[in-house]
Amino acid sequence: MARIGAMMAPFVLDLDDTAIWLPPLVFALFPLLASVVAFLLPETKNHELLTTIEEGESF
């Protein structure tokens, strides 16, 4: 993910030519989107670690 962000950063900064407020908005929205996606991950607290693929598929 870091490489994708590093590749996108120059293009996002070029959005400054379109609107001065657009690069900060893009840089603010991506972490918010990532936090929402992380919030949707299943809870694993108090579960044993899975050791096989079959256990992972049934989780």
Kindly state whether residue 12 falls inside one of the protein's structural domains. Answer: yes
Measured distance CA(22)–CA(13) in Å, rounded? 9
Report how many domains make up the chain: 1
Q: 48 vs 1, 25, 43, 44, 51, CA distance in Å?
A: 28, 40, 12, 8, 9
pTM, rounded to two decimals: 0.58
- Assigned domain for 46 exists: no
Does 54 map to a domain?
no
Query: Which tens digits make up the pLDDT trace of 18-53?
Result: 999 999 999 899 889 999 999 998 888 888 888 899
Residue 40: predicted pLDDT: 92
| Structural domain harbouring 25 | 2-29
Per-residue pLDDT band at 4 (split at 50, 70, 90): confident
Is 7 among the domain residues? yes
